[in-house]
Structures are given as C-alpha cells and as structure tokens.
Amino acid sequence: MQEPEVSLRIAMHYIQGRKTCANVNVSIDGAHVKTKETIHFDIEGFLHENGYVKCDGLDHRWQGEYGCPDSAYRIVVSSKPGVGDVTIALPDGKTLFIESKKFKSGSGGEYPAMREAIGQLMTGCPDHPDVIPVVAVPYSSKSAELAQKWSSSKRMRMAGIRFMLVRDD
C-alpha cells in the first residue's frame, strides 16, 4: 500500500463513519503522485473507485476538494509540507495529526517506516494538548507487533503518540 493510499483511506474512514466535524485535510508529497511523466499513484482514480468525485471545478489538478454524495464533509487534498499528512478535527474538539508511511519493498520495512513517522511527529507535531500525534502505516503482523510493544512504552505514552494500522478494506 502506497503512502497516499494510507492517508486517503484514513480520511475516507473518518468521513464515512461520521467521526469528524469538518473537512479532512490530506497533504501528499507531489513525488508520491507523479514524477515527470510517470504516475506513481492516481489520486483521482483511487478516490473515484471509492465513491468520491472532484467537486471544486479544478479538474486539471489532483489537488483540491473531493466529496462523497452521502457526506457533508470533503477530503481536501494539498501538497503543503509541514502540516501533517492527515489532519482530522474530532467532535470532542481534539485534532488528529497523522504522519503516514508506506513500507519499502522487501521484508522488515515496518521498523524504519514507523520510526521515521515517530521522529517526524516528535519534531513537527504542534505541541498543544488538543492535538493527538498519530503514526499511520499499513497493517501487517509486524506493524501490529511493533505498535503494541511501543504503545506500552512509558516515553511513547508520555508523548501521546498513537498508532493506526490501515488495511486495504
């Protein structure tokens, strides 16, 4: 599962599950989408397959607002650095600040990807009591094992870091 898919699946889950009270912001590095003429991830195609359509009139760009007919809120896709890969306003007034990662090919990709996301949260997540830092990665038995182990770490609990393990369904 590619990094943009991890982020977009989380956004769709929170919107469709009515677990947010605002549009969900997803920031995707342009290099994850396309380099020169090579398309790495078709955002519009992926969202269309999942019931979302571009609804801001800017059809020539992959950035923009995507809506689902049965939802009041939209996914707002941008490529702004330093704002978190996904930010979600929760009904209780808190905000999820999510750093998403994919696993590099081969075995053992979970450990470096999850550690990189933890480092990004420790250095880039706003230090506010209503902001919840979250590492989001594809589900695997190894990512589940690491999330369980690291969630019980006193330092991780003190930092308030949570884990989301994303499946393709």
In this prediction, what percent of the chain has a pLDDT beyond 90?
82
Residue 89: pLDDT over 90: yes
DSSP character string of 73-101: -EEEEE--TTS-SEEEE-TTS-EEEEEE-
What per-residue confidence (pLDDT) applies to 65?
96
- Global pTM value: 0.93
| High-pLDDT (> 70) share of the chain, % | 99
Q: Work out whether the CA dihedral 103, 85, 93, 158 comes out positive or negative.
A: positive
pLDDT of 14 higher than 70? yes
* 79-107 average pLDDT score: 92
Name residue 156's amino acid: M
Residue 106 has what pLDDT?
67
pLDDT in tens, 19-73: 999 999 999 998 888 888 888 899 999 999 999 999 988 778 899 999 998 899 9
